Amino acid sequence: MTPARSRALAAATLTALLLTAAPAAPTHAAPGRPAAPPHLAGDHTVPVYSYADAVRESVQVETPTDADGDGVRDRVMVDLVRPRETAQAGVRVPVIMDASPYYHCCGRGNESERKTYDANGVIAKAPLFYDNWFVPRGYAFAAVDLSGTARATGCEDVGGRAEVAGAKAVVDWLNGRARGFTLDGEPVTASWSTGRVGMIGKSWDGSVANGVAATGVRGLETIVPISAISSWYDYQRYRGLLRASDYPAYLHQVVNGRPAEACAAVLARLRADSAEDTGDYNAYWAERDYRRSVEQVRASVLVAHGVNDLNVTTGQFARWWDALADRQVPRRLWLYQAGHEDPFDVRRAEWVATLHRWFDYWLQGLPNGVMREPRATLETAPGVWTEQRDWPAPGTRNVPVALGAGDGTTGTLGGPGARPGVVRAYTDESLTEPQVVTEPTTARAGRLVFLSGALTAPLRISGTPSVRLRIRVDRPTTALSARLVDYGTAERIQYRSSEGVRTLATESCWGESTVADDACYRDTAEITAVTDHGVLTRGWLDAAHHRSLRFTSPLRPDRWYTVTLPLNAYDAVLPAGHVLGLVLAQSDPGFTETDDRDATVSVDLGRSTLTMPVTGRATLPSAPVAPDVVTAPAAPSDGRAAPPDNRQLPGRS
């Protein structure tokens, strides 16, 4: 397909999606009332303003923090694009804002776009399509450099007070509560703004949106966190286990836009206060745990997340979602099969249509019915989408599943289980994931495998599974890891390869363009393959944190302990004929770092249970002694090599 034809097809598709609601109402006013702005057409906004002639300006907004300790309040840089025609007519507009640490160092989106500026230092190109699409429709767009990054002053404290306060200050400035300055240092206000702000962003950017919403700042009407963090502890620690060493410092150094000496003290505090030596949850992590302040959230929330995201794992959205639900916060959810991806690169036309209607409702106040639609949009298999009333799926119930001894090599999952006192033991072998999950009926040191029988009907898992284990450990601690695996041939998203999305040669355009900032992006497609198994979800725990994440409780070798290991949230339908597997291991070099190896763990099967959130009255058939599950051969052992560096950037693409 040629680029021109691709653009035309995308435009036609999106037009149809946007105009399926009520016909546009005339824009003339009732007698005695002012005429509605031309960008308002009934229940949606339309592109009537020139993007090429838009006002482009760069504003420094003063924050309440002095992170670099220079005696002067920090300033974040706000690069703005807004309609010139509304400014000339005295019509105020709402603001869509993406606050990011990546505008200078790493870029945004699938094509890693960066900001560019004209000779006067004023924004010429903002990454992504938000300004191209929404500015002609009566919105302003703000691309904000977070404290200590790009052209901002201060220091980046990785999810902490300075980062959140800097982005919040922009919302305050747009509402007349904070000070702004031109590049020449002259005071400037946002008199053109309605004060209604919607924050959007992927991963780190979306995490900032979560953090600002948790302050309860007035004027922030909605947030759209995509693959976002709601607790930085859960991102850098897996229930007491170190994901990677020196992680906070690594993230700070990657995005830092200041001279190293300006932020040396902040960097030292990141290293000292994050408690890497213990893995404990402390005051440092509490400051970066936005779920603790969920009761302050005033904004509506549109969450998007890939169910196979191994960078920002699904527990981040699920625990945030549950907390929002408890507070009855208006919310919607998109879940898709890819990994750490933006839905713009998964289901482009439908996502843009959803964003358009969401912002029209929450920022323009247009009664388009978006909040009367099903709350959850899900991709249940590659390219198969559905909508449901809520998430987890309505009717989901937590079902306990017994662990059985099986044939001595492979245990059973479901059925009568094992009597108390039936014990199986395994010694830490630091296995890679392929070694852990392949050939489940083959004896392999370092793991325990439990299999159901072949499913007699499809099994829907929707929510957060967990494993309750009764264990005895011959060391003061060890890493514990667990996986749910779908054994059976199916076409699956290959999320370990480019997050499950490939970039195509064609492109499509989403909004208006200028010479400096085009609205055209390379098209994408899911990467799929027919495989004989797929890992559904994973979970990890440092056994010495079984009582609390705030302190360690070393294990005694003569005692039995009950530990609960939550797995990451998931949503999947296992077809009839497939087999569900639970695989237990210890240290996990592909995901965590630990020096606590070589432990032997004994598991009392009769007092251990898998809890699964399932819909309907589905049950797991008991497995035969030797279930007929064919899998690929295991990867060659890498022995006891040092674990790889598991540090990732939360949201480069």
Looking at the fold, whether 413 and 295 belong to one and the same domain comes out as no
End-of-domain residue from the set 388, 423, 441 = 388
**What contacts 83, CB < 8 A, 6 or more positions away?**
39, 49, 50, 54, 55, 93, 135, 136, 138, 139, 140
DSSP secondary structure code for residue 630 in this structure: -
**What integer is the mean pLDDT of 446-452?**
97
Q: To the nearest whole number, what is the mean pLDDT of the chain?
A: 91
| Residue 330 and residue 443 in one domain | no
- Domain containing residue 170: CATH number: 3.40.50.1820
Q: What is the CA radius of gyration of the chain?
A: 26
* pLDDT for the residue 642: 42
CB atoms closer than 10 angstroms to residue 400: 10
Residue 280's pLDDT is 97
The reply to whether 422 and 366 lie within a common domain is no
Distance, CA of 95 to CA of 335 (rounded, Å): 26
Using alpha carbons only, give the angle 255, 319, 294 rounded to the nearest 5 degrees.
Answer: 80
- Tell me, yes or no, whether 634 lies in a domain: no
Per-residue pLDDT at 618: 66
Mean pLDDT of 129-148: 98
pLDDT at position 153, please?
97
Q: Domain check: are 320 and 451 in the same one?
A: no
Q: What does the pLDDT read at residue 621? A: 79
Please check whether residue 25 is in contact with residue 46, taking contact to mean a CB–CB distance below 8 angstroms.
no
**Burial class of residue 191 in the structure, from the number of CB atoms within 10 Å of its CB (0-12 exposed, 13-18 middle, 19+ buried):** exposed
Q: pLDDT-based confidence at 651, cuts 50/70/90? A: low
* Selected catalytic residue, list 193, 203, 452, 587: 203
Inside any domain, residue 442? yes
Q: What is residue 516's predicted lDDT score, i.e. its pLDDT?
A: 95
- The model's confidence at residue 32, banded by pLDDT at 50, 70 and 90, is low
Domain identity same for 432 and 455: yes
Q: Let me know: does 189 contact 172? Beta carbons within 8 Å.
A: no
Range with lowest mean pLDDT among 3-7, 510-514, 613-617, 622-626: 3-7
Claim to verify: residue 445 and residue 301 sit in the same structural domain: no
Q: Is 274 a catalytic residue?
A: no
List C-alpha distances in Å: 426 to 49, 480, 548, 572, 600.
67, 11, 25, 29, 6
- The tens digit of pLDDT for each residue in 553-612 reads 999 999 999 999 999 999 999 999 999 999 999 999 999 999 888 999 999 999 999 999
Q: What is the pLDDT of residues 346-395, one digit of tens each?
A: 999 999 999 999 999 999 999 999 999 999 999 999 999 999 999 999 99
User: Which segment of 6-15, 88-97, 106-115, 445-454 scores lowest on mean pLDDT?
Assistant: 6-15
Q: 158, 232 in Cβ contact below 8 A?
A: yes
- Say if residue 9 is exposed, middle or buried (CB neighbours under 10 Å; 0-12, 13-18, 19+): middle
pLDDT for 650 equals 81
- Is 8 inside a domain boundary? no
For the chain, the first-to-last Cα distance in angstroms comes to 25
> What total number of domains does the chain contain?
2
Give the rounded percent of residues in the chain with a pLDDT score beyond 70.
91
Looking at the fold, whether 379 and 403 belong to one and the same domain comes out as no
Q: Which residue has the higher pLDDT, 629 or 435?
A: 435
Give the pLDDT of residue 627: 40
Same-domain status, 409 and 384: no
pLDDT in tens, 470-525: 999 999 999 999 999 999 999 999 999 999 999 999 999 999 999 999 999 999 99
Q: What single string gives the DSSP state of each residue in 387-450?
A: EESSSSPTT-EEEEEEEE-TTSSSEEESTT---TT-EEEEE-----HHHHHSSTTS--TT-EEE
309 in active site: yes
Q: What is the CATH number of the domain that holds 593?
A: 2.60.120.260
Q: Residues 132-154: what's their mean pLDDT?
A: 97
pLDDT of the residue at 624: 58
Task: Please tell me which of 3-12, 58-67, 406-415 the model is most confident about, judged by mean pLDDT.
Answer: 58-67
Residue 31: the pLDDT is: 53
| Catalytic position from the list 39, 44, 305, 340 | 340
Residues 273 and 341 in one domain: yes
**What backbone phi and psi angles, to 5 degrees, belong to 380?**
-90, -20
Question: CA–CA separation, 578 vs 627, rounded Å?
Answer: 11
- Flag whether pLDDT at 459 surpasses 50: yes
Q: Is 28 domain-assigned?
A: no
Which of 79, 172, 234, 309 is catalytic? The answer is 309
Is residue 295 located within the same domain as residue 435? no
**Percent of the chain topping pLDDT 90:** 87
Strand pairing partners for 302?
332
Active site residue 203: yes
Lowest mean pLDDT among 5-9, 166-170, 241-245, 433-437: 5-9
* Over residues 101-119, mean pLDDT: 93
Q: Which amino acid does the sequence have at 454?
A: A
Q: Is the residue at 496 inside a domain? A: no
Residue 9: inside a domain: no
Q: Which of 388, 417, 438 is the last residue of a domain?
A: 388
pLDDT digits (tens, 9 = 90+) for 278-336: 999 999 999 999 999 999 999 999 999 999 999 999 999 999 999 999 999 999 999 99
pLDDT-wise least confident of 62-71, 394-403, 616-625: 616-625
- Residue 222 and residue 360 in one domain: yes
Structural domain contains residue 29:
no
pLDDT at 649: 75
Domain containing residue 565: 398-491+530-614
Q: What pLDDT score does 648 carry?
A: 81
Q: At which of 345, 362, 388 does a domain end?
A: 388
Same domain, 384 and 408: no
Does some domain include residue 636?
A: no
pLDDT score of 15 more than 80: no
SS3 at position 99: strand
